[in-house]
Structure 1
Amino acid sequence: MVFFQLVIDCAAPDRLARFWADGLGYELEEPPGHFDTWREYWQSIGVPEEELGDGDCADSIVDPEGAGPRIWFQQVPEGKVVKNRFHLDIKVGGKREEVPLATRRARVDAKVEQLVRAGASVVRVLAEPGVDHYAVAMTDPEGNEFDVV
């Protein structure tokens, strides 16, 4: 088995960590062991001060059930300039075989409203008449694309 974490480059790790924790039902990850802050932890393992950025902020989230990957928000100096080549689908609608389209649509729309209140933006609605599919393309507060399905 291979274990992995998802790393998202960003300008404001604390803001994105909080946004995605709320959006995914994750929790902010506490610093390891006896450390009060992540800055203390990173300094203890020798990370240079100039690489710490906002080292006291929340910069990683974890699935409280332990099923999903850890997500680390790595502060970088450059901004996002092109479309993601990789994106998340937040699946809240339910399985097509089990849940009617109207119910899936209502679930997706409710999640979209929550995420907009948290700072996301709607890009477009992905729906066509006669097609049993409904999703909403969105961007997080730093412009990273994702879909709510």
Structure 2
Amino acid sequence: MATAWSLTIDCASPTTLATFWTAALGYEPAPPPRGWTSWDDWFDDHDVPPSERDGGAFIHDPAGVAPGISFLRVPEGKTVKNRMHLDLAVGGGRHVDPDLRRSRIDAVVQRLTDLGATVLRDVPDHVTMTDPEGNEFDVL
């Protein structure tokens, strides 16, 4: 049996990154855990002080297929290249006509740039970008 998992991204601004990745992936803000009507109710029940309630943000795949992502505020900034990154597979794969595949990649790169991403490298089969806090990912 596979182990359920989610992804956690350390960051300076959980809300900023959650907003970016929600739009980039077609995700939604995660609802509060089952049994609570709001995140504030959950925070109250778990004695999370108000000063700590903006320390995280949570998004999920509305179809319930892909893993959830948490964004947690940490005091230190990013200092080196990611050792793990996301690949956004939007081109359709190598079996798709290269011009069509590239047009799909370019459209997503433009949309993500408009959302605050930055292009690092553009090579024939993919584009390496960074999110608003400098975390690398590829669009392929």
> Normalising by the residue count of structure 1, what TM-score does the alignment of the two structures yield?
0.85
1:46 shift after superposition: 3.0
Moved over 4 A (4+): none
Letter in 2 for 1:83: K
* Structure 1 residue ranges without an equivalent (≥5): 128-133
In the alignment, structure 1 residue 143 sits paired with structure 2 residue 134: yes
Partner of 1:43: 44
1:140 shift after superposition: 0.1
Backbone CA RMSD of aligned residues: 1.7
Distance 2:78 2:46 in 1: 29
Per-residue displacement from partner, 1:6-44 (whole Å, max 9, x unpaired)? 0000011111011001101111112234443x3442332
Distance 1:10 1:17 in 2: 10
Per-residue displacement from partner, 1:86-122 (whole Å, max 9, x unpaired)? 100000000212x101001000000000000000000
Q: 1:81 is matched with which residue: 79, 82, 90?
A: 79
* Alignment map for 1:1-149 (pairs within 5 Å): 1-32=2-33, 33-36=35-38, 38-48=39-49, 52=52, 54-55=54-55, 59-97=57-95, 99-127=96-124, 134-149=125-140
- The answer to whether the Cα contact below 8 Å between 1:26 and 1:63 also exists between their aligned partners in 2 is yes
> Normalising by the residue count of structure 2, what TM-score does the alignment of the two structures yield?
0.90
Letter in 2 for 1:100: D
Distance 2:44 2:83 in 1: 33
In percent, how many aligned pairs have the same letter? 50
Count of aligned residue pairs for this structure pair: 138
